[in-house]
Structure 1
Amino acid sequence: MQLNKSKILVLDDDNDVLIALRLLLKSKVKEVVTEKNPNNIMSLFEKHNFDIVILDMNFNSLVNTGNEGIFWLTKIKQISPDTCVILITAYGDIDLAVRSLKEGASDFLMKPWENERIIQTLKELSDKQGKKYSSKSFKTDQGKIIGESGVMKNVFLKLEKIAPTDANVLLLGENGTGKDLIAKAIHENSLRKDKPFVKVDVGALTTSLFESELFGYKKGAFTDAREDRKGRFETASGGTLFLDEIGNISLQQQARLLTVLQNRQITPLGSNEPINIDIRLICATNLELEVLADQARFRKDLIYRINTVELTIPPLRERGSDVKVLARHFTKLYTDKYFKDDFHLDKSFFEKLTNYKFPGNVRELQYTLERAVIMAENQILSAENLMFSPIERYHNDNSTTGVTLESVEKNTILKVIEKNNGNISQSAKDLGITRAALYRRLHKYGL
């Protein structure tokens, strides 16, 4: 983190000190807040996320033991453990400095201070904060999980605890929230990171494909089985198996999966020889846990097997300022990808983004910004450059009622295009029509 992005709180009962530090820091940091009464610390931290606190050691001019500073240092570290605290006093005491550092202070400065010294100290602490934040931001070969909101910091905290274990994980969240990226992050921050990570969209597998894909088969097991083939369980052995859309598999498939997880063995089609497997299992679904717990839809004994730990990925509309953070990230990503000059993002651009609910979540934001960068005619991105997905508008349009042949066709086309992430050629192939025919239908339905 750079110093100019830091939020600083100065706590001192001397008004001259508060004024001096405000004047010194206001042009060098993002925000500086001053306060004379340390009893207001709790309410201040409820309103702000401070990166650094500059804290006086003595708030009673008659007592210069430094105990007050130690007391308030402890309180701050309890409220916000990641906040750096610099203790400052007019009374030099080596023992007091050592004690304060043991209690969690980041540095200890003397009054009167040297401006250059205090600025240098703040820069060093800001750099440390940046490195600490980076270590909590999970990276995968697919990209970096980005988020500064409280809900995402909570996700990062849980990931730190979950990833190093071998516990099975159930990821819950709406489509487009990044469950696949989270699954990869768990694997790459685990002890299995050097072993395979295998993803399977089990919701898309038919009953016949389910067993052959997951458990493999022997040559001659069925008509087209011309050679032995390992299943995904065996391929992932030693590593992590990620089963996406687990909520969409049939009860028969659930029973087969439960048997494998209980016995830790698979038997390929056409074989009578079981094979031991060693996998960490991560599953994901866009269904809520209450829906998944309906026994008519999903076996409870399987839920217990796959759900040692559950992690809910929040929708983008609940992530506050992350919309702006992600917007800058994706704009830069596609600016570089398409060899464009840097863009200026104006106020109307961010206003339109923050006022939109993003039913398609991060995925929709990503595609929206990619389109904006590609279609931009100058180096300023404004509200006019943002065109949100008609697919998502359709899914959230409650005025569409009644079932007609046209509505069924329109709905089917939209679902197939969504499944293929907007790929028209693949969508036409899946629908069994030509690209030209698909374009005619898109025009017909105003899509």
Structure 2
Amino acid sequence: MKQAGSILVVDDNPDILIAARLLLKQHYQIVKTTDNPFDIEAIIKSHPIEVILLDMNFTQDSISGKEGFYWLKKIIAQDPSIVVLLMTAYSDIQLAVDAIKSGAADFIAKPWQNDQLLAAVAAAFAHAKDKQQVNKLTRQTQGLNQALSESQSGPTFDFLGQSAAMQQVFNTIEKAAQTDANILITGESGTGKELAAHAIHQASLRRDNPLISLDMGSLSDSVFESELFGHKKGAFTDAKADKVGRFELAHGGSLFLDELGNLPLAHQATLLAALQNRQITPVGGSKPVDVDIRLICATNDNLSDSVAQGRFRQDLLYRINTIEVRLPALRERTSDIPLLVDYYLSHFAKKYKRHLTIAPCDMQLLCDYTWPGNVRELSHAIERAVILSEGDTLNIATVVGQPSTNMPAAFNSANEPITQDTDTFDLEIIEQRTVRAALKHHQGNVSHAAKALGLTRGAMYRRLEKYNL
């Protein structure tokens, strides 16, 4: 049975190429040959070569071996993971020593004995596998260090809830986390989808390996493949060094793709191929990399509607949502508000070195509010109240009337809820009115309005486009 592996034989003697090919094809799946060393670079770029048998002399009557050393250095510079075996009919001990010092794995004298050549090639493939593993671990370590330096290693807040709706969420997570099934987390912006992803990972059998996150909504077309699959040095103008992609960083662990509904159709096909094949190829690379990940995705879009509208691939939707976890909006679990208020009050009081309690009337006020920005909006409101409150009691009135308040349209100066139009209970219409009110309150400042609603800037701009505001 042939072994998996790809080998390139480079020699200007056609008889040598034929003999090597006939022998090696009996044992290895891919054997390529060329009589021109100038073809080496193109062959390496187009094929995942692991071992090269390289002649040392290509010019007629040349016996110095200088050409072999020149091409050896070129190969190592192009791809250090390739193992090179040098060949020559004019061999001596010093030449062999120099070959090893220059980076060759072995030195083969021509004509060779078949058994000796096969043994040398087998050792070269074993060496290649070891180099690939070391390189992969090194790249992963460097990539993880970079990822951790760019963001926090874990969520800022706990994933909390005691309502029936949240208990159902926790129950689903507990069951699904123990498998490697792909999970799709859905819910409105600010409901805690990232916290849910961390909870899933921590409850899984992969908890000791990394959870790598990527916001798909923030990716431009030009960096999509580089961020997900990595790139090789020189693959494009700004590729000054190798970069490990998120798929490879998450190997053995979990990959969390947030805002998946924003992914363009062209990129959806690329992502689907990687998920189906469990392999990725870095930009500018030729060798596919096997990846073992648990996929967790999140979106605040209705992907079924997106499929019907032709904006999302149905086969990708089937691939990512083996299990769907829907996070309820805060207005659907109002019984959790006191728990969350106490949690955030304790968190931010400790952060800002305050000792505060909340008055029952203010707690009721928070419970009566609809929280269009969900838990994220609530946490921002509590943080602002902690900062601005005087004395030992948290006073929600401290944020009323401020230009950058987190509750711009929810409370008046008398600390009473503003009466909303009651001509409809359509959530989309209510959301449109709330977004419009936030923009009006903040005099068109999108950043302030987004923060007030507990939305990211990307999510806010999507709503502006959706409602033509």
- TM-score class, shorter-chain normalisation, is 0.5 to 0.7
1:286 and 2:291 correspond: no
Aligned residue number for residue 367 of structure 1: 380
Aligned AA (2:292): D
Secondary structure (helix, strand or coil) at the match of 2:204 reads coil
Superposition pairs of residues 6-405 of structure 1, within 5 angstroms: 142-341=156-355, 343-385=356-398, 387=400, 389=406, 396=431, 398=433
Q: 1:375 to 1:264 in 2, by over 3 A?
A: same
Q: For residues 12-62 of structure 1, what are the alpha-carbon distances to aligned partners after superposition, in whole Å with 9 as ceiling and x for unaligned? A: xxxxxxxxxxxxxxxxxxxxxxxxxxxxxxxxxxxxxxxxxxxxxxxxxxx
Distance in 1 separating the partners of 2:443 and 2:220: 23
> Is the deviation greater in 298-307 or in 349-358?
349-358
Secondary structure (helix, strand or coil) at the match of 1:143 reads coil
Aligned AA (1:354): C
Aligned AA (1:213): E
Distance in 2 separating the partners of 1:180 and 1:189: 14
The structure with more radius of gyration:
2
Aligned AA (2:362): F
Q: CA deviation at 1:146?
A: 1.3
Contact 2:389 2:395 in 1 (8 A): no
Q: 1:204 to 1:295 in 2, by over 3 A?
A: same
Distance in 1 separating the partners of 2:383 and 2:180: 37
Distance in 1 separating the partners of 2:379 and 2:212: 24
Aligned residue number for residue 73 of structure 2: none
Contact 2:190 2:455 in 1 (8 A): no
Q: 1:294 to 1:411 in 2, by over 3 A?
A: farther
Q: CA deviation at 1:286?
A: 0.4
Q: CA deviation at 1:288?
A: 2.2
Distance in 2 separating the partners of 1:324 and 1:411: 31
Aligned AA (1:284): A
Secondary structure (helix, strand or coil) at the match of 1:410 reads coil
Aligned residue number for residue 444 of structure 2: 410
TM superposition outliers: structure 1 runs of 4+ over 3 Å: 140-143, 385-388, 390-393, 406-409, 411-423
Distance in 1 separating the partners of 2:311 and 2:432: 27
Q: Give the unaligned 5+ runs of structure 2.
A: 1-153, 411-429, 458-469
Q: Give the unaligned 5+ runs of structure 1.
A: 1-139, 424-447
Contact 1:233 1:279 in 2 (8 A): yes
Contact 2:331 2:374 in 1 (8 A): yes
Secondary structure (helix, strand or coil) at the match of 1:144 reads coil
Distance in 2 separating the partners of 1:230 and 1:397: 41
Distance in 2 separating the partners of 1:252 and 1:391: 39
Distance in 2 separating the partners of 1:418 and 1:383: 14
Distance in 2 separating the partners of 1:156 and 1:262: 29
Distance in 1 separating the partners of 2:445 and 2:311: 24
Q: 1:251 to 1:306 in 2, by over 3 A?
A: same
Aligned residue number for residue 5 of structure 1: none
Secondary structure (helix, strand or coil) at the match of 1:327 reads helix
Q: For residues 255-304 of structure 1, what are the alpha-carbon distances to aligned partners after superposition, in whole Å with 9 as ceiling and x for unaligned? A: 11011111111011111211111000000000124323325110000000
> Is the deviation greater in 301-310 or in 288-297?
288-297
Secondary structure (helix, strand or coil) at the match of 1:162 reads helix
Q: 1:346 to 1:419 in 2, by over 3 A?
A: closer
Q: 1:155 to 1:399 in 2, by over 3 A?
A: closer
Contact 2:216 2:263 in 1 (8 A): yes
